[in-house]
Amino acid sequence: MKVLLAMSGGVDSSVAGALLLDAGHDVVGVTMKLWGGQSDTGCCSVSDVDDARRVAQQLDIDHLVFNFADDFDTHVVQPYVDAHALGVTPNPCIECNRHLKFDRLLGRADQLGFDAVATGHHARIGRSDDGRFTLERGADAAKDQSYVVHMLDQSALARTLFPVGHIDKAEVRRLAAERGLRTASKPDSQDVCFITSDGGRTAFLGDRIPFRRAKVVDTSGAVLGEVDAIETVTIGQRRGIGLPGGGPKRYVVDIDPVAATVVVGADDDLRRDHVDVEQLTWVDGPADGEVRVQASAHGATVTGHLVAGSPVAGVSHVRFDVAQRRIAPGQSVVFYDASNRRVLGGGVARR
């Protein structure tokens, strides 16, 4: 099989390439140039591209660079900025997977005559009894990345490979060291690639949108203080919201960008027994009934009931068995089957 391997410059995609070669595939590596600005924390730095190129040399495979910077700005960076201006907390890494690492890359692979695209994600692709593709958690529970690839449907899964999904991270590093790959001990990327470690999110947004001061009120409406920039506040936040220390813990329970108001309350005020989810995608058709719900990349799952046939088109309603901390609007909500192993689909928490 002719496989286009997405190489981020990390150890997972490096070992994915080695495993593909061991399996007899014809492999070509590709690194996507996504962010043209300053980067020092994610997977888009110059050093990452160089690491990918050198690993390709070690594996004796061709290495290409695709410039998708315009698409990245359109589908990831600008929506990230716009969301904060609206009081929404976006998930840029998932949007990058959705629009670039799979949609855009799969399209380019098709154009160039490749049979499949492979990545270093810790997730697994299987088959159901009737031959349909399934998307499942990676073997390493601590590194599972099925959450961030939940948008893959049958067409995408048929042309995608996750070579390291069936092994744990320790084995990945052992294989990399055994083969002398330069990324064997390289730390994992943890942060958004276009947010630098020195300036952070506040500096990034401040260069692109005007910040507005906002009053901070409690759930009764009493004014407690103010924040310098409502655009940098998110649901569930406890620090940096203009309140003095001491006293009971207060959390952001709501944000009203129109009224320039941040509402804070106790932990109980933050809890909800439901969430509405929009922008839905499904691995193999819509689901309903009991599901396991995950709302962060490495967060725990909780039991909820997915209601089909919502009166609002394109929106599903999930009711939790036990009230949970409110999921920030804009965050991805992913559904798993009752075994908590197989991805059913997901979407975005609605305001």
Considering 43, 44, 93, 193, which one is annotated as catalytic? 193
Backbone φ, ψ for residue 181 (5° rounding) = -70, 135
Q: How many CB atoms lie within 10 A of CB 331?
A: 20
> 61, 22 in Cβ contact below 8 A?
no
SS3 of 145, please? coil
Separation CA 272–CA 342 (nearest Å): 25
What are the angstrom distances between the C-alpha of 116 and each of 4, 5, 29, 295? 6, 9, 12, 29
Chain center to CA of 333? 10
> 245, 257 in Cβ contact below 8 A?
no
Q: Find the helix packing angle between 169-178 and 11-22, rounded to 10°.
A: 70
Q: Could you say which DSSP state residue 168 is in?
A: -
Greatest Cα-to-Cα distance within the chain, rounded to the nearest angstrom: 67
What are the angstrom distances between the C-alpha of 141 and each of 91, 133, 169? 21, 21, 10
Separation CA 351–CA 276 (nearest Å): 8
SS3 of 199, please? coil
Residue 193 designated active-site: yes
Residue written as tokens 């999930």?
Answer: 318
Backbone φ, ψ for residue 80 (5° rounding) = -60, -45
Residue written as tokens 């106790």?
Answer: 266
To 10 degrees, the CA torsion angle through 219, 223, 229, 234?
-10
Backbone φ, ψ for residue 102 (5° rounding) = -120, -60
Which residues are catalytically annotated? Answer: 96, 193
